[in-house]
Amino acid sequence: MNNFNFYSPTYFVFGKGKENETGKYVKRFGGTRVLIHYGSGSVMKSGLLDRVKKSLTESDIWFTELGGVVPNPRSGLVYEGIEICKHENIDFVLAVGGGSVIDSAKAIALGALYDGDFWDFYTGKQYVKKALPVGTILTLTAAGSEGSSGSVITHENGMLKRATGGDAMRPAFSILNPELTCSLPPYQTACGATDMMAHVMERYFTNTRNVEITDRLCEGILLTVINEAPKALTNPDDYEARANLMWAGMVAHNDTCGVGRDSDWSSHQMEHELSGLYDVAHGAGLAVMFPAWMKYVMHHDLNRFAQFAVRVWGCEMDFQNPEKTAIQGIQRYEQFVSSLGMPIRFSQLGAKAVDIPTLVKSMGLGKNTLGSFVKLTSEDVTKIYQLAV
Question: Which positions touch a second copy (CB under 8 A)?
Answer: 1-16, 18, 178, 209-214, 216-217, 219-221, 223-224, 227-228, 240-241, 243-244, 247-248, 251, 256, 259-260
Secondary structure class of 52 (helix, strand, coil): helix
Q: Which one-letter amino acid corresponds to residue 36?
A: I
Nearest to 206 by CA among 377, 380, 363, 1: 1
Nearest approach in angstroms of CB 193 to a second copy is 13
Between 2 and 207, whose beta carbon lies closer to a second copy?
2
Buried b (16+ CB within 10 A) or exposed e, 339-350: ebebbbbbeebe
Between 168 and 376, whose beta carbon lies closer to a second copy?
168
Nearest approach in angstroms of CB 304 to a second copy is 16
69 contacts 42 by C-beta, under 8 angstroms: no
Nearest approach in angstroms of CB 186 to a second copy is 20
Task: Tell me, rounded to whole angstroms, the distance of Cα 165 from its chain centroid.
Answer: 12
156 contacts 75 by C-beta, under 8 angstroms: yes
Nearest approach in angstroms of CB 251 to a second copy is 7
Report the first-to-last Cα separation within the chain, whole angstroms. 37
Q: Which one-letter amino acid corresponds to residue 302?
A: L
Nearest approach in angstroms of CB 167 to a second copy is 9
344 contacts 334 by C-beta, under 8 angstroms: yes
Nearest to 376 by CA among 266, 246, 255, 254: 266
Between 211 and 309, whose beta carbon lies closer to a second copy?
211
Nearest approach in angstroms of CB 11 to a second copy is 5
Between 75 and 254, whose beta carbon lies closer to a second copy?
254
Nearest approach in angstroms of CB 231 to a second copy is 9
Between 16 and 45, whose beta carbon lies closer to a second copy?
16
- Taking CB atoms within 8 Å and a gap of at least 24, the contacts of 243-248 are 243/14, 243/178, 245/141, 245/178, 245/181, 245/192, 245/193, 245/196, 246/14, 246/138, 246/141, 246/176, 246/178, 246/181, 247/14, 247/176, 248/141, 248/196, 248/221, 248/224
298 contacts 326 by C-beta, under 8 angstroms: yes
Between 213 and 365, whose beta carbon lies closer to a second copy?
213
Contacts of 154 (CB under 8 A, 6+ apart): 72, 73, 74, 75, 160, 161, 162, 276
What is the DSSP pairing of strand 150-155 with strand 160-165?
antiparallel
Between 12 and 290, whose beta carbon lies closer to a second copy?
12
Between 237 and 240, whose beta carbon lies closer to a second copy?
240
Nearest approach in angstroms of CB 142 to a second copy is 15
Between 231 and 324, whose beta carbon lies closer to a second copy?
231
Nearest approach in angstroms of CB 281 to a second copy is 23
Nearest to 358 by CA among 265, 289, 277: 277
